[in-house]
Amino acid sequence: MAAMLEMKDVNVFYGNIHAIQDVNLSVNQGEIVTLIGANGAGKSTTLRTISGLLKPKSGEIFFEGQPIGGQPAQNIVKAGISQVPEGRRIFANMTVLENLELGAYTRSDKDGIAADMEVVFGRFPRLKERLQQEAGTLSGGEQQMLAMGRALMSRPKLLLLDEPSMGLAPILIKEIFSIISDINATGTTILLVEQNANMALKVAHRAYVLETGRITLSGDADELASSEAIRKAYLGG
Amino acid sequence: MDFFNVFVQQIINGVSLGSIYALIALGYTMVYGIIKLINFAHGDIYMVGAYVSFFAVTMANMSIVPALLISMVVTALLGMLVERLAYAPLRHAPRISVLITAIGMSFLLEYGSMYFVSPTPRTFPEVMGNLAYNIGGFVINGQQLLIFAITTILMIILTYVVQKTKVGQAMRAVSFDTETAQLMGINANRIINFTFGIGSALAAAGGVLVGVYYNSIDPLMGIMPGLKAFVAAVFGGIGSIPGAMAGGIMLGVIEALVSGFISSTFRDAAAFAILILVLLFRPSGIFGKAVREKV
B52-56, B135-139, B258-262, B277-281: the lowest-pLDDT one? B135-139
Going A178 to A180 to A184 to A190, the CA torsion angle's sign is negative
Contact A116, A152 (CB under 8 A): yes
Separation of alpha carbons B41 and B24, rounded Å? 11
Across the strands, what pairs with A64? none
| Side-by-side strand order, sheet with A17-27 | A17-27, A5-14, A58-63, A66-67
The 10s digit of each residue's pLDDT in B182-215 is: 999 999 999 999 999 999 999 999 999 999 888 8
Q: Is B292 a residue whose pLDDT tops 50?
A: no
Beta bridge partners of A13: A18
Altogether, the residues listed in chain B come to a count of 295
- List chain A residues with CB under 8 Å of B166: 105
Greatest CA separation for chain B = 63
> Which is more confidently placed, A231 or B221?
B221
Tell whether the model's pLDDT for residue B295 goes beyond 50.
Answer: no
Calculate helix-pair angle for B166-176, A96-103, nearest 10 degrees: 100
**Residue B1: pLDDT above 70?**
no
Cβ contact A93–B185 (<8 Å):
no
Q: What mean pLDDT is reported for chain B?
A: 90
Cβ distance B192 to B39 under 8 Å?
no
Could you tell me the CA-to-CA distances from B225 to A40, A183, B241 in Å, in that order? 49, 56, 18
pLDDT of residue B294: 40
CA distance A165 to B9: 62
Least confident interval from B82-86, B110-114, B241-245, B286-290: B286-290
If you measure CA to CA, which chain A residue comes closest to B182? Answer: A73
In tens, the pLDDT along B101-126 reads 999 999 999 999 999 998 999 998 88
Residue B290 has pLDDT above 60, yes or no: no
CA B113 to chain centre: 19
Q: Got the DSSP string for A155-187?
A: --SEEEEE-TTTT--HHHHHHHHHHHHHHHHTT
Give A14's contacts in chain B (Cβ within 8 Å): none
**CB–CB of B183 and A85 under 8 A?**
yes
The secondary element (H helix, E strand) that includes residue B193 is helix B188-214
**pLDDT value at residue B136:** 77
Count other C-beta atoms under 10 Å from residue A176's C-beta: 18
Poorest-pLDDT segment among A70-79, A145-154, B122-131, B143-152: B122-131
User: Are residues B258 and B267 in contact, defined by beta-carbon separation less than 8 angstroms?
Assistant: yes
* Mean pLDDT within B52-71: 92
Task: Tell which wins on pLDDT, B291 or B129.
Answer: B129
Closest-CA residue of A relative to B294 is A89
* Under 8 Å between Cβ of B237 and B260: no
Backbone angles phi, psi at B288, to 5 degrees: -75, 150
pLDDT at A237: 58
The answer to whether B154 and B27 have CB atoms below 8 angstroms apart is no
Helix B223-236 to helix B3-35 angle (10° resolution) is 80
Strands in chain A per DSSP E: 5-14, 17-27, 32-36, 58-63, 66-67, 81-84, 158-162, 189-194, 206-211, 214-220
CB within 8 Å of chain A, chain B residues 154-213: 166, 169-170, 172-173, 176-177, 179-187
* Rounded mean pLDDT, B30-54: 93
pLDDT digits (tens, 9 = 90+) for A172-229: 999 999 999 999 999 999 999 998 888 999 999 999 999 999 999 999 999 988 887 7
- ipTM confidence score: 0.94
Interval A101-152: pLDDT, tens: 999 999 999 999 999 999 999 999 999 999 999 999 999 999 999 999 999 9
By C-alpha distance, the chain B residue nearest A97 is B169
Pairing of strands B122-123, B132-135: unpaired
Task: Name the closest residue on chain B to residue A148, using Cα atoms.
Answer: B184
Q: Is the pLDDT of residue A34 over 80?
A: yes
| pLDDT (mean) for B135-163 | 90
Number of Cβ pairs < 8 A linking chain A and chain B = 59
